[in-house]
Amino acid sequence: MLLIITPRLQLRELTPADAPLVLALLNDPDFIRNVADRGIRTLEAASDYLLRGPLLSYAEHGIGLWCVERREDGQPVGMCGLIRRAGLADVDVGYVMLPAWRGLSYASEAATACVQYGLHSLHLSRVVAYINPDNAASARVLCKAGLHACGHITLPDAKTPVLLFSSDAPATPAAQS
């Protein structure tokens, strides 16, 4: 079972026992506004989401969203991880923290650990992220994690563009010509 340790956090694989955490995270109004409404409204639906999402991703890809816990007391504060999405070439970092734990740099610490794990342990050529262009808080998290804004893209099956961040070095003015 994967375990990533940072100075204040540990990231571990989610289990069916994490359904209450997942239910709270996926129903947070900020998550719904900035990511998506997954329609998960019951513990049973959260359990099914875990089985069809993170747990399946661990089995198929060896990566997925992980539970983020404080090391000092094991308190779950959110989810963060690496996601391989169908139809996209790159692995992306995703994260969500419970409202009570935002503003403490937990998202930045967890996202940085995931990006570093992807680049150095998995030897990915790059890690990306996709965010709502209006989500300034997520943009700050991604910059702290070492990613750079690369412009807007429209993902497959999406209607509106998102902002792409990448671990690749930003292009220099001469390279953009």
Question: Residue 177 above 70 pLDDT?
Answer: no
> Which tokens is 85 given?
């999405």
Question: Residue 170 above 80 pLDDT?
Answer: no
Question: Residues 66-90: pLDDT tens digits?
Answer: 999 999 999 999 999 999 998 899 9
Question: Residue 1 above 80 pLDDT?
Answer: no
- Residue 175's pLDDT is 41
- Residue 159's pLDDT is 87
Q: Evaluate whether 15 touches 1 at the Cβ level (below 8 Å).
A: no
Query: What does the alpha-carbon distance between residue 142 and residue 144 come to, in Å, rounded to a whole number?
Result: 5
Question: Residues 115-133: pLDDT tens digits?
Answer: 999 999 999 999 999 999 9
Q: Please give the helix or strand (H or E) that residue 69 lies within, else none.
A: strand 65-70
Candidates 74, 88, 93; CA nearest to 21 is 74
Q: Evaluate whether 93 touches 63 at the Cβ level (below 8 Å).
A: no
Question: Residue 172 above 50 pLDDT?
Answer: no
- Residue 91's pLDDT is 97
pTM: 0.92
- Residue 40's pLDDT is 95
What's the pLDDT band for 2 if we cut at 50, 70, 90?
confident
Question: Residues 139-158: pLDDT tens digits?
Answer: 999 999 999 999 999 988 88
Domains of the chain: 3-176 (3.40.630.30)
Q: Evaluate whether 47 touches 23 at the Cβ level (below 8 Å).
A: no
DSSP conformation class of 53: T
